[in-house]
Amino acid sequence: MVERHAVEITRRLIECPSVTPEEGGALVYLAEVLEQAGFACTRVDRGGIANLFARKGPKGAGRTLGFNGHTDVVPVGDTGAWTVQPFGAEERDGMLWGRGATDMKSGVAAWVAAAAAADLPEDGALVLAITGDEEGDATDGTVALLDWMAANGEAMDACIVGEPTCPEVMGDMMKIGRRGSMTAFFTARGVQGHAAYPHRAKNPVPALARLVALLDTHVLDDGTDHFDASTLAVTTMDVGNPATNVIPAEARATVNIRFNDAHTSSGLTRWLEEMADEVAAQTGIGISMTVKVSGESFLTPPGALSDLVAAAVEVETGRRPEMSTSGGTSDARFVKDHCPVVEFGLVGKTMHQVDERVEIVQIEQLARIYERIIRDFFR
């Protein structure tokens, strides 16, 4: 049965110590399972990251459904705090325990089990793009797979990402988009001096504090049709000055912005530069900025794909999932440039935690949901 196969695949994947960027045997095992089910598998490794592409059905098929997921996991942390072996895949109390059980080896396993059992029409194909770099920098993971697909004429008409999406109970939420994420790093430069003679120095700290206060109190927006209001969080201010009688030469601050579809990273970057220039002009302190963009906001408008997923979830769980754009980023931010994408997966309460675990019944439910999505997509 697809349910037991999904549980067994999850167990085998948890046993693989695939902490980013280590492959840990996870993709090797998945390739074996998929090839036995008739998939053609290709390793798409780049930059020391292991990735797997698999396809069943004709290349350039009239209808191609894709799945994106990852087998890499975050570090286990303090092993002494775990009550089980982090990579032991122990079954206990109706749970399967271990790092990656929730995020997201169970999601990958459920799709692989469903895909292996699928009957495809002559004009249908299934594609899996599985990365080992979602928990890391994500520069050579899903991006590498999509680059390889473009170079080799591979394409998906729609894609499901199997990240945990349900906050409380199985089936209560799916993701049809994500907020964008960017981080700005500010450096204010003055002139070092003696604290007793401040007129001989140029103190960068008050200038940087003024800038941070302005950014912190600014309202970016009030939300949009499918997104909550954008947020800006000051995450650190650092001077690194151990002396109480020295005015420092430099001070640094970092802010993180999670933004909705009312903004782009380029527009927000221009605004941040304008604010920094304004404070610099007022204070005479030079302020420089660098920006790292993790992803732009995106939305897959409600329609055929979200309806397909929601209907399958409702049949198997009795719940019509809320269509949400909440949470952090995922590799869907890359897939959205290739094809429409929707995310649905397990309850994510224990992901990244000590004693990460998943209810076995949830893995079984997810496998049935994915089985139904595949069947209904080609119907």
Contact call for residues 317 and 365 (beta carbons, < 8 A)? yes
What are 46's two structure tokens?
């780049």
Q: Is 72 a catalytic residue?
A: yes
Contact call for residues 71 and 132 (beta carbons, < 8 A)? yes
Question: What b-and-e string marks burial along 292-322, b requiring 16 or more CB atoms within 10 Å of the CB?
Answer: ebbbbbbbbeeeebbebbbebbeebbeeebb
Angle between helices 2-14 and 26-36 (to 10 degrees): 160
Contact call for residues 226 and 261 (beta carbons, < 8 A)? yes
How many of the other CB atoms lie within 10 Å of CB of 190? 22
Q: ω before 248 within 30° of 0 (cis)? A: no
User: Shortest CA distance to 90 belongs to which of 346, 349, 345, 357?
Assistant: 357
Report the distance separating Cα 233 and Cα 256, nearest Å.
Answer: 5
Report the distance separating Cα 257 and Cα 229, nearest Å.
Answer: 11
Catalytic residue chosen out of the listed positions 72, 140, 261, 364: 72
**Cα 107–Cα 331–Cα 7 angle in degrees, nearest 5:** 10
Q: Is 359 a catalytic residue?
A: no
Catalytic residue chosen out of the listed positions 3, 15, 133, 134: 134
The β-bridge relationship of strands 341-343 and 158-161 is parallel
Q: Tell me the catalytic residues.
A: 72, 134
